[in-house]
Amino acid sequence: MPLGTLDRSPPPFFKQGPSALSKLVFFSALAFLLMVADVRFGITQPLRAVMVTVLHPLQWIATQPVSAAQGASAYFASLTQAQADAQASRLELSRQLVRGGQVEQLAFENQRLRQLLELRGRLNTPATAAEVLYEAADLYTRKVIIDKGQLAGVALGSPVVDAAGVLGQVTRVHPLVSEVTLVVDPDLTIPVLNVRTGLRSVAYGDSSGGGGLELRFMGSNTDVQEGDLLTTSGVDGIYPPGLPVAKVDRIERRVETAFARIFCKPLALAGGARHVMVLQPLKDQLPARPPKEEAAAAKGAAKGVPRGKEVQP
């Protein structure tokens, strides 16, 4: 057979189609485009919500062995430890009874003073009880998943607290579960108030991964001491004022810089919280702005006048 009549094309089994480099460039560009579109427009949020809802029963089944083991461990606790806990509880109850009488007296005096000064009372923040299901599988963030979502009335941005203080904030809500970013996450900030001095500042999650908080941009001569209690200031419109956040743990004042490094220890159990309370954001409880003031603010903003300095007619 002459050589010119032979079919020199490879069989279909060995045909590769586009080159590997072309596929890499195409899928890399497609992945980058999808990431930008998701961050900018949130196009994958409905799909993510559906997947989380569908996978929720499987996640619940996967966590049952851990819950059963923890329940068995608690059931077989020693009798001596239980008696010691009961004795400590009785002593603490006695102390709380004494303090309860003092608190009632102080509350009565506070009410009389507020009536005298015609001050508005504290906001009564609604709360929803929730349970931490598991910690999010992300090495670069500190987040947990709780078993309450949109169907339970959880709103985006809701503060989350445990028995000791502020645990974090709801940053993503699904129908059945919600994602909570902890206070020790580097991307979370909380306006705080130093109870001893009344100084306001902002607490950031420790970027070094030490599991603490840090007060930044504080002068070296700022009146801050180790052991100072930090609570929420309430100026951000999210966290109700007076919630415990952290205590000052360590202060580093350096000669070469004008700012001090202030490290704080969170009061909430960021790494072991089980039962939490989801609070309603403070902005949902504040009264609506008067129409005249809103119109004046919009008019001042249109003229370039800073908010709060509008010229009244």
Q: Bridge-partner residues for 278, per DSSP?
A: 128, 160
On whether the CB atoms of residues 203 and 217 are closer than 8 A, the answer is no
What pLDDT is attached to residue 306? Answer: 41
CA distance 275 to 287: 31
What pLDDT is attached to residue 94? Answer: 80
Closest among 125, 121, 89, 92 to 107, alpha carbons compared: 121
| Angle made by CA atoms 149, 141, 257, in degrees to the nearest 5 | 130
pTM of the model: 0.60
Q: What average pLDDT does the structure give for the chain?
A: 80
Q: What average pLDDT score do residues 196-213 get?
A: 87
What pLDDT is attached to residue 143? Answer: 92
pLDDT band at 91 (very low <50, low <70, confident <90, very high): confident
Per-residue pLDDT reduced to its tens digit, 139-168: 778 899 999 999 999 999 999 998 888 999
Q: What average pLDDT score do residues 217-223 get?
A: 87
Task: Tell me the CATH class for 127-284.
Answer: mainly beta
Q: What average pLDDT score do residues 63-87 get?
A: 78
Segment (H or E) for 191: strand 189-194
| pLDDT of residue 178 exceeding 60 | yes
On whether the CB atoms of residues 228 and 195 are closer than 8 A, the answer is yes
CA distance 160 to 169: 5
Task: Find which of 172-186, 198-212, 255-269, 291-305 is predicted with most confidence, using mean pLDDT.
Answer: 172-186
Q: Which range among 165-169, 235-239, 295-299, 306-310 shows the weakest confidence by mean pLDDT?
A: 306-310
> Which residue bears the tokens 């949130």?
42
Q: Which residue has the higher pLDDT, 77 or 279?
A: 279
pLDDT band at 305 (very low <50, low <70, confident <90, very high): very low
Per-residue pLDDT reduced to its tens digit, 12-53: 555 556 777 888 889 999 888 888 888 888 777 887 788 888
